Structure 1
């Protein structure tokens, strides 16, 4: 008789995840980061040149974004309402003249 096959998901479910394992950084390409943020890839390219975009890393010629940096950048741009003084300061007509 053959032994019963071991199913991979059953083995994973039986072993508890390690609490001491450090989270691994996930790096995204420009196109993947744009999809993640629901922006145009060109928008991220312009922000790399002009500033104001999320932190990025260069590996040789390749530009990569850490998912945690994208989340932090997006969180820094959250507001309660358009009447929020910080929102008004960032989005005033004068700030577009820079």
Structure 2
């Protein structure tokens, strides 16, 4: 797995439309991202951390 992921790759990983991932980025809800020129990238470690936080938040909601 690459160290940096595109929006499409993140979307495929979490099985969510790319448009939703873009919207989350816009409102500050999704994984941390950065731009290289016009391209938006995500560090794999940031995506993994964000997914763990989502899991933990869902686990707390179920209690």
TM-score w.r.t. length of structure 1: 0.55
**Which residue number corresponds to residue 74 of structure 1?**
51
**Which residue number corresponds to residue 26 of structure 1?**
3
What do you get for the CA RMSD once the two structures are aligned?
Answer: 1.6
In structure 2, which of residues 24, 31, 35 is the aligned counterpart of residue 54 of structure 1?
31
More strand by share: 2
* Secondary structure class of the residue paired with 1:77: helix
Residues in 1 aligned to 2:8 and 2:48: alpha-carbon distance in whole angstroms: 16
More helix by share: 2
Extract unaligned runs of 5+ from structure 2. none
- Higher RCO (CA < 8 A, seq sep 6+): 2
Please identify the structure whose Cα radius of gyration is greater.
Answer: 1
Moved over 3 A (4+): none
Offset of residue 40 of structure 1: 1.1
* Secondary structure class of the residue paired with 1:76: helix
TM-score w.r.t. length of structure 2: 0.82
Count of residues paired in the alignment: 59
